[in-house]
Amino acid sequence: MLELKTVGLFFVTALAEIVGCYLPYLWLREDKSIWLLVPAMFSLAAFAWLLSLHPAAAGRVYAALWWCLYFHGHFVVMGY
C-alpha cells in the first residue's frame, strides 16, 4: 500500500509541476492572459509542498528522473 501511495504522490507532484510551468508558457508564447500566472504560482507552491511529503530522498529521485528525461529528449530531438 505504501508503494501505491508513493506512486500516486509522485504523479500528483509531477502534474503540479507541469501545470505550474505550462501556464506561464501560455502567457509568454501564446499571448494568453497574465492572470494565468496566479494559478501557476499556486501550482508551483503546491509542487514544492507535495515534494516535501515524499519519503526520504524522493527529491533526489525526482530530480534524477527529470534529468534522465531531459537527456533522452535531447537525444531524440538531435536525432531528427
Most confident of 8-12, 36-40, 49-53, 68-72: 36-40
- Given a cut of 60, whether residue 77 has pLDDT beyond it is no
pLDDT at 80: 47
Provide φ and ψ at 31, rounded to 5°. 55, 45
Q: First-to-last CA distance in the chain? A: 42
Number of structural domains in the chain: 1
Instruction: Output the pTM of the full model.
Output: 0.69
- Given a cut of 60, whether residue 78 has pLDDT beyond it is no
Which domain range does residue 70 map to?
2-78
- Given a cut of 70, whether residue 66 has pLDDT beyond it is no
Percent of the chain surpassing pLDDT 90: 28
